[in-house]
Amino acid sequence: MKVICICVAGLPGQPETSASVNGDVITVDGVPYDLSAVPDGGFAEPGGDNHPFIGRIERIDGGLRVQLRWIYSDATAEPDQPAVQPVFMVIIGEVPDPIVRKPLASEAAA
């Protein structure tokens, strides 16, 4: 699955996004989304507001492509994030954290 992360600073206290992929299922913040019904060469338009997707979910040459809203905390992130949206290819496992983090206090002291 090709996961394009659209990074968005969350509100104070809002939990950060975490996601994992297992075949055609992407689990975002503990909620699984089974995308196996998206046909090859086709797309799905997520309905409503209660999902983490931005835009269409597409299947091209058998592979899924999703744009995922990735919420992060200003408290742990560097103020300047890359302008290019991070893209990850994940077949099974965790989607890597796309956020550039501030150094930990122990790293800063070293």
Antiparallel, parallel or unpaired: β 43-44 and 57-60: antiparallel
Could you list the beta-strand ranges (E) of 10-50. 19-22, 25-28, 31-34, 43-44
Whether 109 shows a pLDDT value over 80: the answer reads no
| pLDDT recorded at residue 92 | 97
Is the overall model pTM greater than 0.95, yes or no? no
pLDDT tens per residue, range 45-69: 998 889 999 999 999 999 999 999 9
The pLDDT of 24-29, averaged and rounded, is: 98
Q: What is the pLDDT of residue 82?
A: 86
Q: What are the domain boundaries of the chain?
A: 2-109
CA distances (Å), origin 32, targets 9, 24, 92: 23, 10, 13
- How many residues does this entry show for the chain? 110
Q: Give the chain's mean pLDDT.
A: 93
- Percentage of residues of the chain with pLDDT beyond 70: 95
**pLDDT score of 104:** 83
Position of tokens 């060469």?
A: 41
